[in-house]
Structure 1
Amino acid sequence: MTTFRFDRPSIEYITALIADILPRRKTKARRNLLPLDMVLIALQFYATGTFQTVVGNVLRYSQASVSRSIAAVSLSLSLISANHIRFPDNLNNHAFQASLDQSIDGTHIRIQRPILYEKAYVNRKNYHSINVQAICDAGYKFLSVCGTKPGSCHDSSIFKGSAIGKKFESGFFGTSILLGDSGYSNTPFLFIPYNDPVEGYKIRFNRAHKSTRCTIERSFGILKKRFHVLHSEIRMSPTKVSWVIVACCVLHNLAIDLKMPLDDNWAVDGDDFHQEENMPELEIRPTGTITQKEAALRRLGNTKRDRVASKTFPR
């Protein structure tokens, strides 16, 4: 649990979910790199946030094998994210809505200085990041995650341009509502608190709003507590960082379903939640479609050394 954040049966379950997607690889020592090995490498990286060479030394694999394993597992988990991060099918059921609190917010994940579109990734605190927008329920499970936008993007703009935001705007979810902070615009489907309330009913509304919306902040806190890599600077390209973010969110939901405990010794310092200010949006690098992601995963299993030994990627 300390090293991987999951027990043995859970790790085997996670491996089974993506084993058919992972590319087959061999190390330089001609030793087979099994799907379980790749999952263990990635889980330790997510849990500790240590440099990949340290992870490789612990699990006795080369830095190159560790790097490719982390990328392959992260991309594989992101490809199956729709099965584990999704809105309930019965969201339009009024009885169900009464028991479901949906909160939306964003959190910044620090990244190393990117080569392309560097200015776009500088956030309001003047460091490079990806602005992750998520929606959660009262049980701290993520219902929607967008982890591709650079740090300069404003929360409200991310929501308006997202697929889930367009569904809410079109009335796809009926009378369902979201609770957000003042960084969002007040709409019939997204409620934000009153600014400087004086009347009693507004004060009471803000108090109830805050106590309910704090679930998204706690969800981010649990996510970063379990996967410390999201609390440190991720030294990868923005595209691969996006894979890691979504992969950790998938594992977060799985950990809740599998009833994995949290250890107080995993706590992180600092306040990860803050209100965003309006910032200009710059051009960003596209992260690619599902087909392009699958092609990238195939490339991870087809280097010059092992093209002959690699198996066909399942469609």
Structure 2
Amino acid sequence: MDRDVNEIDEFMEDLANLTDVSDYLSSSDSEGRKEERRIKKSRLIPFYKTRKDILTYFCEEKLMRTFRFDRVSIEYITALLEHLFPKRKTKAKRNLRPLDMVLIALQFYATGTFQTVVGNVLRYSQSSVSRSISWVSLALSLISHKHICFPANLNNLKIQFAEIARIPGIIGCIDGTHIRLQRPTVHEKAYVNRKNYHSISVQGICDANHKFLSVCATKPGSCHDSSIFKCSTIGKKFKAGDFGTSIMLGDSGYANTPFLIIPYNEPTEAYKTRFNAAHKTTRCVIDRAFGILKKRFNVLHSEIRMPPVKRLGTITVACCVLHNIAIDLNMPLDDEWGTDNTDFEDENETTECEPRPERADAQRDSFLRRLGNEKRQLIAYNIFRRH
């Protein structure tokens, strides 16, 4: 009996020892797994940290070169747009922050590089880059009416333009430019311009400080500038007399009207020649405005590869909004950013014919041309008859 008791005691002691060993091994295995997870997590920290604090990795000079805005301006733009971004969570329950989306879009506008390159630099996937560009472009276009508009008081515009070359009553200069795009799959021929490449035709009106007052970026490249102006909202407002006796200056691609004055064609009188010189000096502000726009945002200077075509208009308007913001915030323009094509190869100095209007419209247009010729003659004779 005593022997049986002793054997039982020995068995229980051995069992206790085995339990202690098992607990020890389990504890060691658990600690090992925790250590392995800790190491993996530590390797991920730098990646997420660079996303959260990405601005700290750029000096001011590199910020300007990469995004075209300084730190304060980028935060200002983000504050303007963040309430317009949709709320979207990824599977990992992490949002694309508004600041991140703005940085992605700004670099795309500034460089015009492929989206994968932008994503590699900022460490985002191509889909995140594409989504960010779309959201930021749309948000900027939604606030464009606040940043691209005529001021309530037009007198300041007239004073600033008159200081250039003495022509009175000017509130803006109008012109068009082409934004190159990939060959579209729908209505392809409509987007072929007179220089035989695919584009959208962008109409812009600017003030004496190169800020855009109106932008229309919805027409294909084959559309004539004067036709775009007629169909545009701003063109209809001028025709309806919403701007009173105020005038704009345009090149010979437009019709001469009481509200849009173009230069004389081969003038013989001295005062008309002087008027043409003053007209050219004043009107070139719109050429410079487009030059600055394309220099600051190189995406508009190169071929945009983002279907569908309608997104190009949104991107163009977005860049124009940022252009005006940059002027308001006194952002510098670096000569190293690109070539400044201020004359754009005389894009509107063309003999291309405007589509023939209907009979009633033709009579109305003829009447407007006669009034425009009389107004131009009055300005030229009264202002430039004497030196």
Q: Structure 2 length as normaliser, TM-score?
A: 0.70
Q: For the residues of structure 1 that align with 2:297 and 2:100, how far apart are their CA atoms?
A: 19
Is 1:191 aligned to 2:261, yes or no?
Answer: yes
Residue 70 of structure 1: aligned partner:
133
Instruction: Work out the CA distance in 2 between the residues paired with 1:90 and 1:163.
Output: 20
Query: Are positions 1:99 and 2:160 aligned together?
Result: yes
CA distance in 1, matches of 2:304, 2:347: 20
Q: CA deviation at 1:279?
A: 5.6
Determine which of 271, 282, 293 is the counterpart of 1:201.
271
1:134-213 aligned within 5 A: 134-213=204-283
Offset, 1:90: 1.3
What amino acid does structure 1 have at the position aligned with 2:104?
A: I
Residue in structure 2 matching 1:9, options 72, 86, 96:
72
Amino acid at match of 1:241: L
Name 2:339's counterpart in structure 1: 268
- Could you say which residue in structure 2 is the equivalent of 1:278? 352
Q: Which residue of 2 aligns with 1:312?
A: none
Query: Are the equivalent residues in 2 in contact too, given 1:154–1:277 (CA < 8 A)?
Result: no
Deviation at 1:97, TM superposition (A): 2.5
Question: Hey, what's the Cα distance between the residues in 2 that align with 1:113 and 1:30?
Answer: 38
Secondary structure of the structure 1 residue equivalent to 2:83: coil
Structure with higher RCO (Cα < 8 A, 6+ apart): 1
Residue-pair matches, total: 279
Q: Which residue does the alignment assign to 2:287? A: 217
Counterparts of 1:104 and 1:133, CA distance in 2: 7
- Segments of structure 2 that go 5 or more residues without pairing to the other structure are 1-63, 162-169, 356-387
2:305 aligned residue: 235
Matching residue of 1:43: 106
Report the Cα distance in structure 2 between the residues aligned to 1:96 and 1:269, rounded to whole angstroms.
Answer: 25
Q: Which moved more, 1:214-223 or 1:112-121?
A: 112-121
Kept after mapping to 2: 8 A contact 1:41/1:55:
yes
Question: Unaligned stretches of 5+ in structure 1?
Answer: 282-315
Q: 1:244 to 1:28 in 2, by over 3 A?
A: farther
Q: Secondary structure at the match of 1:67?
A: helix
Rounded Cα–Cα distance in structure 2 between residues aligned with 1:244 and 1:21: 16
**CA 1:269 to 1:137, structure 2 compared with 1: closer, same or farther past 3 Å?**
closer
Taking structure 1 as the reference length, what is the TM-score of the superposition?
Answer: 0.85
- What does residue 244 of structure 1 align with? 315
Tell me, what secondary structure is at the counterpart of 1:152? coil
Matches of 1:169 and 1:238, distance apart in 2: 29
> Which secondary structure does the structure 2 equivalent of 1:146 belong to?
strand
**Alpha-carbon offset, residue 30 of structure 1:** 4.8
> What is the CA distance between 1:98 and its match in structure 2?
3.2
The equivalences for 1:102-121 within 5 A come to 102-121=172-191
Change (3 A) 1:181 1:28: farther
Q: Contact 1:25–1:34 at 8 Å: present in 2 too?
A: no
Contact 1:152 1:280 in 2 (8 A): no
1-structure distance, mates of 2:122, 2:185: 31
User: Over residues 171-213 of structure 1, what are the superposed CA-to-partner deviations in whole Å (9 max), with x where a residue is unaligned?
Assistant: 1101110000000000011110111122111111110000000
SS at match of 2:331: coil
The structure having more radius of gyration, on CA atoms, is 2
How many Å apart are 1:55 and its aligned residue? 0.2
- The code of the aligned residue for 1:83 comes to K
Counterpart contact for 2:200–2:219, Cα < 8 Å:
yes
Deviations along 1:109-157, one digit per CA (max 9) or x if unpaired, are 0001111111111000010001000000000000000011100000000
Bigger mean CA deviation after superposition, 95-104 or 36-45: 95-104
Query: What is the deviation of 1:277?
Result: 4.2
Normalized per residue, which structure has more helix? 2
Identity %: 72
User: How far did 1:28 drift?
Assistant: 6.2
